[in-house]
């Protein structure tokens, strides 16, 4: 955002509401008074009794006394149902308004407590129109299409780039420099983030979160959460969760917030309306609170986990319970948390059941959680159906140090990575517990790994996976060099019909430094990388369905694994596939280190497309795409005619290429002409000045020299042979 | 393009320069010695000994008879180029960072440092072309720079009409060559970013600056308008304009003080070739293992020399491919 735009923006803001709110209060000293309405009407005799009763109630929030209550009497000798009360301080009066307003005295009487100054301000005649005026309906304004980028003629994907203070959104042009759609300075204060379907770009500011979108990149929503630090969207982008490490200190006049939010750190918002749905205080964790701040566990993020259809959201209170909330009300399911002693973590299945499926328990939303060994009970992993809260599967586990829950992207499989220790606790190893959710009775299939598994990743929409293991982790502080790792690839055995066969190891590659796995969003291709490392920066591109000869030993497996490319990107810190799985960008962010920051774009085979070194480069993020709207049949049709389409695209690429080079040539020609023209002018001027000074033309010296340096050509002729021939 | 490695200095190079005929190459370094080499084969012809400190700058006069040098021993010295005899020394209160002859060799300018209460100055001396003759003792012109705005580099424009100076605050000034009156002052580089080098085009109507702000710029002598801009990813120490081809050569790299903390690939110790008109990077020449401090191009554009913090001069003769390289538009233009 340029400075000008920023100020323009400022001018458009209507400040009148703020002015009203912060209007200088002339009636100083009246702040300690409140007006109480809704009192029973009593005769003079009963008045002291009522006052006494009232004072008792009033003293709950601040100090006042019977003398400070003034209850005027009407002409009929009855009190009029209201009273004026003076508190000792203005804060107490404010508390009284906050706490006592709406307090029910009995069935017929409910207190209405207001500040005297408010009554003055709003209740005075003329301030508020007596007559009800129907609010004018705003004329309908056509909104910009929120997914306009999908309509790009060349079906290009967009990405956001954050460098120095500038954030920009660009179309990917493969080898050519990206096409800018918008670029603004100081668009965000900390980082940017796409919403999960790519509709909005999120920016963070000390005052809160803003969403931007549409073809003009205008502001779509504002969520005022002071000192916001982290944000998270629900999968369908209906809800937004914000978190700040500083509890909100509510002050009057904070836009969008109510006194309810005082002391809260989490807020759940409705994205469409911009309304605050519910706020939550920080989770109290007695164990953690005792530790010094730098020893405490990092906060768990995202804390609120959503089902794939945004219907429920849940969070864990470690050690005691999981709270499931229904949307959009954000009320606890069945009004209470699910008590689960010791519970550490949980994950929702990413599969969203259809409405028909959801009617049966077996088709409900699935939630997987695990509890450690506690009170003579073994550690266990359980699957719970929501909303029935029925536990449909559990498995007991032994010698567990930690568990990680990995759902396959369609919820067909669940892998529980169980870090276990030997009986003496000296050595550690991992077992992978697989659950086949879609099969009858949810069969379990364990795989024992002798080493520690440091990374695990499912193939998206597939049934293959990659894991990275390491031997014994060196004791803390001993070896600075990261330990060698091994990468293992797994696939199910081939079967004639579903379900897939048991998982088998395809291959293990030893003595690697790899630490990260990045599957293409469409599956099949996978990058095994070493990121955030000082010494090694390799990216390996693997194909799981290689179109070529297959090893005899792997003929029973539903995969043909082949390394198709190895590249290096010095200082790589992040890696991201584009939503189509055609391109992948590895980047080196100044947030991690300051050496050779920038990004590098590759195709899925590991061929380099573009390299861009950018000073103070911070972030690169592909814009996600919403799910396709084509039906299964239509998709099949596209796949069938792929050859036809690709021919068309190749042609388009060719045309584009020649067009692009034409513009470049044109620009160069212009530059060249400009330069020649300028040189010509300068040379003429110089000549004139020389002439004025009576000097010979500038070239004269050189010419003379050139004469002196003429190449003398000597031709030496030598007769080699002489022959006489008679021609008939 | 196989370079000739000139190993004659023991410390970091500060400047290299060809004479007007291009047959000689002069190099100066922090090791107090001035060397002269045959530019064709890199054979060392001799040295000029006498400076008592780092030599910062060197310039042969156009007729290749006199050599001017300036150094950290607060002197400008004039040498008989042929015999190596020192025949004139001008003393100053502070170090001399740049010397340069006018086109006709009748004047020499020098820039002096701002230090210990002395302001930075640009001085001009008339030079008697007769080596045996008398030389003046006092400058004919003395330009005093504002405090914190010393001239780091300076050069003569065509016909000695202007003196152009690059200042430590990143600005460039134009002074009248006769009176010393400041005519223009334009902020060219990022504020506070030192201008490290300034070299004139052959006809001295435009020049190139190299700055710590990682960019180099081509500027019109008359108006100080920026004509071209070359952005790089490393602080620049030097920039040269090539003759014959429309290129510029930029050199620089990681600050010498930071070199030990980063790997060689981080150093960016490469000579970078850019197209002068299109501002595109064309190629790089590796070889130095310290930042490049100075680059000079042969007046006929057949070779270039670079001097590095590593103490070496690398002399490169361009090969056929270099001369043949041409953009499509240039080729079509040339055919017409």
pLDDT tops 70 at residue B113: yes
Between CA A604 and CA A614, with CA A610 as vertex, the angle to 5 degrees is: 125
Of A40-54, A386-400, B45-59, which range is least confident? A40-54
- Give the per-residue pLDDT at A5: 45
Q: Does A686 contact B266 at a Cβ distance shorter than 8 Å? A: no
- Give the per-residue pLDDT at A357: 76
Largest Cα span, chain A: 163
Which of B96, B104, B210, B114 has the alpha carbon at shortest distance from B156?
A: B104
| Helix or strand run (H / E) with residue B47 | strand B44-48
> Can you point out the beta strands (E) in A137-283?
158-163, 166-171, 179-185, 192-194, 201-205, 208-213, 218-223, 230-233, 239-243, 266-270, 276-280
DSSP state, residue A713:
P
Interface contacts (A, B; CB < 8 Å): 47
The reported pTM is: 0.67
- Closest-CA distance of chain B to residue A563, Å: 28
Question: How confident is the model over A572-622, as pLDDT tens digits?
Answer: 999 999 999 999 999 999 999 888 889 999 999 999 999 888 889 999 999
Question: How confident is the model over A61-76, as pLDDT tens digits?
Answer: 778 887 888 888 888 8
pLDDT tops 50 at residue A3: no
B327 chain-A contacts, CB cut-off 8 A: 668
Taking only residues 5 to 34 of chain B, the set having a beta carbon closer than 8 angstroms to any beta carbon of chain A reads none
Q: Considering chain A, what is the average pLDDT of its residues?
A: 85
Residues in chain B: 336
Residue with tokens 């300075």: A185
pLDDT confidence tier of residue A85, bands split at 50, 70 and 90: confident
Of A44-48, A591-595, B20-24, B167-171, which range is least confident? A44-48
Cα(B236)–Cα(A172) distance, integer angstroms: 32
Nearest to B159 among A595, A671, A689 (CB): A689
More confident residue, B37 or A6: B37
Q: What is the rounded average pLDDT of the residues A391-398?
A: 90
Taking only residues 521 to 580 of chain A, the set having a beta carbon closer than 8 angstroms to any beta carbon of chain B reads 570
A638 contacts chain B (CB < 8 A)? no
Cα(A221)–Cα(A269) distance, integer angstroms: 11
**How far are the Cα atoms of A367, A405, A439, A463 from residue A307, in angstroms, in the given order?**
9, 15, 21, 21
Cα(B65)–Cα(B81) distance, integer angstroms: 5
Pairing of strands A338-339, A562-568: unpaired
Classify residue A387 as exposed, middle or buried by CB count within 10 Å of its CB (0-12, 13-18, 19+).
middle
Q: Does A570 contact B227 at a Cβ distance shorter than 8 Å? A: no
Handedness of CA A252, A258, A259, A262 (dihedral sign): negative
- Give the per-residue pLDDT at A4: 45
Q: Does B262 contact A595 at a Cβ distance shorter than 8 Å? A: yes
Q: What is the rounded average pLDDT of the residues B259-275?
A: 73
Cα(B265)–Cα(A679) distance, integer angstroms: 39
| Helix or strand run (H / E) with residue B232 | none
- Give the per-residue pLDDT at A88: 82
A689 chain-B contacts, CB cut-off 8 A: 158-159, 161
> Can you point out the beta strands (E) in A422-535?
428-436, 444-449, 452-458, 465-470, 485-492, 503-512, 516-519, 525-529
Contact present, A414 and A405 (Cβ < 8 Å): yes
Cα(A340)–Cα(A334) distance, integer angstroms: 16
Between CA A508 and CA A517, with CA A513 as vertex, the angle to 5 degrees is: 70
Taking only residues 199 to 218 of chain B, the set having a beta carbon closer than 8 angstroms to any beta carbon of chain A reads 203, 205-206
B87 contacts chain A (CB < 8 A)? no
Q: What is the rounded average pLDDT of the residues A706-716?
A: 61
As a 3-state breakdown, chain A gives helix, strand, coil percent values, each rounded to 5, of 20, 35, 45
- Give the per-residue pLDDT at A23: 59
The upper half-sphere exposure of residue B242, i.e. CA atoms within 13 Å in the direction of its Cβ, equals 24
Q: Is residue A494 reached through a cis peptide bond, with omega within 30 degrees of 0 on the bond before it?
A: no
Give how far the C-alpha of residue A185 lies from the chain's centroid of Cα atoms, to the nearest Å.
21
Residue of B nearest to A668 (CA): B278
Taking only residues 650 to 709 of chain A, the set having a beta carbon closer than 8 angstroms to any beta carbon of chain B reads 665, 668-669, 671-672, 675, 678, 682-683, 685-686, 689-690, 693, 695, 698
pLDDT tops 70 at residue B37: yes
Q: Does A675 contact B277 at a Cβ distance shorter than 8 Å? A: yes
pLDDT confidence tier of residue A184, bands split at 50, 70 and 90: very high
A685 chain-B contacts, CB cut-off 8 A: 222
More confident residue, A607 or A23: A607
Cα(A257)–Cα(A268) distance, integer angstroms: 12
A595 chain-B contacts, CB cut-off 8 A: 262, 266
- Closest-CA distance of chain B to residue A225, Å: 38
Nearest to B159 among A668, A678, A690 (CB): A690
The three-state secondary structure class of B68 is: strand
How is residue B218 written in tokens? 């081509």
A703 chain-B contacts, CB cut-off 8 A: none
- Give the per-residue pLDDT at A254: 79
Cα(A217)–Cα(A188) distance, integer angstroms: 14
A615 chain-B contacts, CB cut-off 8 A: 233
Cα(A382)–Cα(A442) distance, integer angstroms: 12
Q: What is the rounded average pLDDT of the residues A430-446?
A: 90
pLDDT confidence tier of residue A86, bands split at 50, 70 and 90: confident
- Give the per-residue pLDDT at A1: 43
More confident residue, A582 or A298: A582
- Give the per-residue pLDDT at B53: 93
Q: Does B265 contact A668 at a Cβ distance shorter than 8 Å? A: no
pLDDT tops 60 at residue B262: no
pLDDT confidence tier of residue A17, bands split at 50, 70 and 90: low
Residue A93 neighbours by CB under 8 Å, 6+ apart: A31, A32, A33, A34, A62, A87, A115
Residue of B nearest to A698 (CA): B203
Q: Starting at the earlier edge strand, list the strands of the sheet with B44-48.
A: B13-18, B24-29, B34-38, B44-48
Residue with tokens 């991992």: A430
For B176, other C-beta atoms within 10 Å of its C-beta total 14
- Give the per-residue pLDDT at A6: 42
Q: Does A665 contact B262 at a Cβ distance shorter than 8 Å? A: no
Alpha helices in chain B (DSSP H): 264-267, 320-324, 328-335
For B298, other C-beta atoms within 10 Å of its C-beta total 23
Between CA B330 and CA B336, with CA B335 as vertex, the angle to 5 degrees is: 105
State percent of chain B over pLDDT 90.
Answer: 74
Cα(B336)–Cα(B324) distance, integer angstroms: 17
pLDDT confidence tier of residue A7, bands split at 50, 70 and 90: very low
Question: How confident is the model over A329-378, as pLDDT tens digits?
Answer: 899 988 889 998 889 999 999 988 877 777 776 678 899 999 998 888 88
Cα(A356)–Cα(B218) distance, integer angstroms: 73
Cα(B306)–Cα(B313) distance, integer angstroms: 6
- Closest-CA distance of chain A to residue B260, Å: 14
Question: How confident is the model over B117-138, as pLDDT tens digits?
Answer: 899 999 999 999 998 889 999 9
Residue B190 neighbours by CB under 8 Å, 6+ apart: B170, B211, B213
Contact present, B201 and B207 (Cβ < 8 Å): yes
- Give the per-residue pLDDT at A490: 94
Handedness of CA A649, A652, A658, A660 (dihedral sign): negative
**Helices A642-692 and A632-640, axial angle in degrees (round to 10):** 70
A339 contacts chain B (CB < 8 A)? no
Nearest to A693 among B159, B203, B330 (CB): B159
Residue of B nearest to A693 (CA): B159
State percent of chain A over pLDDT 90.
Answer: 39
Handedness of CA A113, A119, A125, A129 (dihedral sign): negative
Q: Does B278 contact A671 at a Cβ distance shorter than 8 Å? A: yes
Residue with tokens 């009487």: A109
Q: Is residue A387 reached through a cis peptide bond, with omega within 30 degrees of 0 on the bond before it?
A: yes
Which of A627, A629, A636 has the alpha carbon at shortest distance from A352?
A: A627
B206 chain-A contacts, CB cut-off 8 A: 682
B48 contacts chain A (CB < 8 A)? no
Of A95-104, A233-242, A561-570, which range is least confident? A95-104
Of A249-253, B25-29, B83-87, which range is least confident? A249-253
B328 chain-A contacts, CB cut-off 8 A: 665, 668
Contact present, B112 and B123 (Cβ < 8 Å): yes
Give how far the C-alpha of residue A456 lies from the chain's centroid of Cα atoms, to the nearest Å.
21
- DSSP string computed for A655-685: HHHHHHHHHHHHHHHHHHHHHHHHHHHHHHH
Taking only residues 156 to 195 of chain B, the set having a beta carbon closer than 8 angstroms to any beta carbon of chain A reads 158-159, 161
pLDDT tops 50 at residue A682: yes
Question: How confident is the model over A242-279, as pLDDT tens digits?
Answer: 999 888 888 877 788 887 888 889 999 999 988 999 99
Contact present, A331 and A325 (Cβ < 8 Å): yes
- Give the per-residue pLDDT at B266: 64
How is residue B159 written in tokens? 């016909």
Q: Starting at the earlier edge strand, list the strands of the sheet with A365-371.
A: A345-348, A365-371, A379-386, A390-397
| Helix or strand run (H / E) with residue A637 | helix A632-640
B262 chain-A contacts, CB cut-off 8 A: 595
Nearest to A668 among B205, B262, B278 (CB): B278
- Closest-CA distance of chain B to residue A569, Å: 13
Please report the ipTM that was assigned to this predicted complex.
Answer: 0.88
Interface test with A, best of B105, B158, B221, B281 (most A CBs within 10 A): B158
Cα(A433)–Cα(A381) distance, integer angstroms: 10
Contact present, A569 and A539 (Cβ < 8 Å): yes
Q: Does A672 contact B329 at a Cβ distance shorter than 8 Å? A: yes
Cα(A652)–Cα(A655) distance, integer angstroms: 5
- Give the per-residue pLDDT at A261: 85
B300 contacts chain A (CB < 8 A)? no
- Closest-CA distance of chain A to residue B33, Å: 32
Of A374-378, B1-5, B84-88, B261-265, which range is least confident? B261-265
- Give the per-residue pLDDT at A139: 86
B205 chain-A contacts, CB cut-off 8 A: 682-683, 686
More confident residue, A208 or A697: A208
């Amino acid at each position: 955002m340029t400075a000008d735009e920023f100020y323009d923006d400022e001018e458009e803001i209507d400040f009148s509401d703020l002015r009203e709110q912060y209007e200088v209060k002339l009636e100083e000293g009246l702040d300690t008074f409140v007006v109480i309405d809704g009192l029973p009407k009593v005769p003079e005799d009963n008045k002291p009794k009522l006052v006494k009763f009232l004072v008792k109630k009033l003293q709950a929030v601040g100090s006042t006394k019977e003398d400070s209550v003034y209850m005027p009497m009407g002409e009929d000798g009855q009190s009029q149902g209201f009273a004026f009360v003076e508190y000792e301080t203005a804060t107490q009066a404010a508390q009284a308004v906050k706490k006592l307003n709406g307090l029910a005295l009995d069935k017929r009487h409910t207190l209405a407590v207001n500040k005297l100054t408010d009554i003055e301000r709003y209740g005075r005649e003329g301030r508020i129109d007596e007559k009800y005026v129907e609010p004018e309906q705003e004329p309908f304004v056509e909104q910009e299409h929120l997914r306009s980028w999908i309509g790009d003629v060349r079906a290009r994907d967009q990405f956001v780039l954050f460098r120095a203070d500038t954030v920009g959104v660009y179309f990917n042009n493969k080898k050519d420099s990206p096409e800018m759609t918008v670029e603004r300075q100081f668009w965000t204060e900390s980082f940017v983030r796409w919403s999960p379907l790519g509709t909005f770009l999120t920016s963070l500011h000390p005052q809160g979160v803003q969403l931007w979108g549409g073809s003009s990149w205008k502001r779509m929503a504002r969520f005022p959460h002071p000192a916001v630090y982290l944000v998270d969207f629900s999968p369908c982008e209906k809800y937004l969760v914000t978190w700040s490490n500083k509890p909100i200190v509510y002050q009057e006049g904070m836009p969008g917030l109510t006194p309810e939010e005082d002391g809260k750190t989490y807020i759940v918002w409705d994205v469409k309306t911009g309304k605050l749905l519910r706020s939550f205080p920080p989770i109290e964790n007695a164990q953690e609170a005792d530790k010094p701040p730098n020893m405490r566990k990092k906060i768990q993020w995202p804390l609120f986990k959503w089902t794939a259809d945004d219907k429920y959201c849940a969070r864990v209170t470690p050690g005691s319970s999981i709270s499931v909330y229904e949307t959009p009300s954000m009320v606890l399911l069945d009004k209470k948390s699910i008590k689960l002693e010791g519970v550490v973590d949980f994950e929702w299945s990413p599969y969203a059941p259809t409405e028909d499926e959801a009617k049966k328990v077996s088709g409900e939303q699935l939630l997987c959680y695990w509890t450690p060994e506690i009170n003579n009970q073994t550690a266990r992993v359980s699957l719970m159906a929501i909303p029935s809260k029925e536990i449909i599967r559990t498995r007991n586990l032994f010698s567990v140090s930690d568990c990680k829950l990995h759902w396959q992207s369609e919820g067909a499989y669940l892998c529980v990575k169980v870090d276990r220790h030997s009986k003496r606790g000296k050595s550690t190893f991992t077992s992978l517990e697989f659950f086949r959710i879609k099969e009858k009775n949810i069969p379990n299939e364990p795989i024992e790994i002798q080493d520690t598994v440091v990374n695990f990743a499912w193939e998206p929409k597939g049934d293959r996976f990659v894991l990275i293991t390491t031997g014994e982790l060196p004791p803390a502080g001993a070896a600075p060099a990261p330990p060698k790792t091994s990468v293992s690839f797994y696939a199910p055995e081939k079967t004639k019909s579903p379900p897939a066969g048991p998982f088998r190891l395809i291959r293990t590659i030893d003595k690697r430094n790899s630490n990260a796995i990045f599957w293409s969003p469409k599956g099949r291709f996978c990058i095994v990388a070493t990121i955030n490392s000082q010494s090694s920066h390799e990216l390996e591109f693997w194909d799981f369905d290689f179109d070529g000869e297959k090893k005899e030993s792997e003929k029973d497996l539903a995969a043909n694994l082949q390394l198709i490319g190895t590249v290096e990107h010095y200082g790589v810190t992040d890696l991201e596939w584009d939503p189509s799985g055609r391109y992948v960008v590895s980047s080196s962010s100044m947030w991690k280190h300051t050496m050779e920051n920038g990004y590098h774009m590759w195709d899925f085979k590991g061929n380099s497309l573009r390299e861009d070194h950018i000073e103070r480069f911070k972030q690169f993020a592909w814009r996600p795409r919403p799910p396709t709207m084509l039906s299964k049949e239509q998709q099949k049709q596209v796949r069938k005619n792929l050859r036809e389409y690709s021919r068309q695209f190749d042609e388009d690429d060719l045309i584009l290429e020649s067009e692009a080079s034409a513009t470049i040539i044109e620009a160069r020609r212009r530059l060249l002409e400009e330069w020649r023209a300028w040189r010509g002018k300068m040379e003429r001027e110089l000549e004139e000045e020389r002439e004025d000074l009576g000097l010979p033309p500038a070239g004269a010296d050189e010419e003379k020299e050139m004469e002196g340096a003429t190449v003398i050509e000597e031709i030496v002729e030598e007769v080699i042979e002489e022959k006489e021939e008679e021609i008939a | 393009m196989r370079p000739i490695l000139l190993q004659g200095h023991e410390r970091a190079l500060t400047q290299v320069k060809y004479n007007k005929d291009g047959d000689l190459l002069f190099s100066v370094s922090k090791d107090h010695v001035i060397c002269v080499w045959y530019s064709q084969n890199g054979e060392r012809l001799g040295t000029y000994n006498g400076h008592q400190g780092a030599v910062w700058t060197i310039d042969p006069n156009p007729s290749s008879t006199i050599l001017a040098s300036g150094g950290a021993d607060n002197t400008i010295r004039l040498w008989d180029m042929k015999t190596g005899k020192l025949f004139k020394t001008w003393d100053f209160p502070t170090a001399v960072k740049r010397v340069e002859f006018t086109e006709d060799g009748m004047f020499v300018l020098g820039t002096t440092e701002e230090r210990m209460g002395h302001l930075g100055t640009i001085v001009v001396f008339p030079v008697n072309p007769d080596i045996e003759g008398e030389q003046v003792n006092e400058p004919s012109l003395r330009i005093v720079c504002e405090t914190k705005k010393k001239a780091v580099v300076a050069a003569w424009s065509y016909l000695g009409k202007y003196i152009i100076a690059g200042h430590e605050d990143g600005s460039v000034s134009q002074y009248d060559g006769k009176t010393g009156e400041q005519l223009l002052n334009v902020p060219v580089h990022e504020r506070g970013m030192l201008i490290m080098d300034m070299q004139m085009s052959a006809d001295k109507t435009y020049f190139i600056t190299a700055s710590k702000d990682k960019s180099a710029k081509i500027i019109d002598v008359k108006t100080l308008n920026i004509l071209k801009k070359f952005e790089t990813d490393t602080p620049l120490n030097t920039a040269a304009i090539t003759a014959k081809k429309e290129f510029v050569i930029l050199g620089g790299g990681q600050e010498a003080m930071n070199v030990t903390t980063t790997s060689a690939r981080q150093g960016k110790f490469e000579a970078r070739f850019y197209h002068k008109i299109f501002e595109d990077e064309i190629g790089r020449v590796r070889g130095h293992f310290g930042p490049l401090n100075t680059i000079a191009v042969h007046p006929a554009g057949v070779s270039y020399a670079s001097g590095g913090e590593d103490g070496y001069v690398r002399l490169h003769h361009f090969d056929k491919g270099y001369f043949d390289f041409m953009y499509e538009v240039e080729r079509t233009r040339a055919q017409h």
